[in-house]
Amino acid sequence: MSEESLPNDGRPDHADALPEYAERVLEVAELIPPGRVMTYGDVAEWLEEGGPRQVGRVMSLYGGAVPWWRVVRADGVMLPGHELRVLEHYRAEGTPLKEASRAAEGHLPRLDMRRARWDGGERAQGHT
């Protein structure tokens, strides 16, 4: 068909004109239960496509549509510039945070990845 300016009859299709890859990433992000997190790398691995940086890119562009604070860096460090905001979410959701050692006083807490990391609930890959 003429992919040249489709006549979106009254319905702005471009409203969800996200690349398919981005949609898949956001889809996974929405599956993460409150109180748990998934790393960018885990999401990429889960999708079996792209890599951590691609997932991060999608989140930076379209993350606002999902619980973006549940997709985090593998080292558990909070997103710079949004630390306080995400910290509120984590405390509200009961996401495991790593106790700051005395030496690290003054530093913002980091996520306790060992406990907070969510494996994706074992993909229902079906088929045994």
Partner DNA sequence: AGCGTGACGAGTA
Partner DNA sequence: ATACTCGCCACGC
Binding test (CB under 7 A) with DNA, winner from 18, 31, 41, 96: 41
Output the smallest distance, CB 62 to DNA, in A.
8
Secondary structure of residue 108 in the 3-state scheme: coil
- Site residue total, DNA (CB under 7 A): 27
* Contact between 84 and DNA per CB under 7 A: no
Output the smallest distance, CB 128 to DNA, in A.
28
The gap between the terminal CA atoms of the chain, to the nearest Å, is 41
DSSP state of 37: B
**Token pair 């940086």: residue:** 53
Separation between Cα atoms, residue 55 and residue 97, nearest integer Å: 23
Q: Please report, as ranges, the residues that interact with DNA according to CB under 7 A.
A: 19, 39-42, 50-57, 59-60, 63-64, 68, 71, 73-75, 79, 101, 103-104, 107
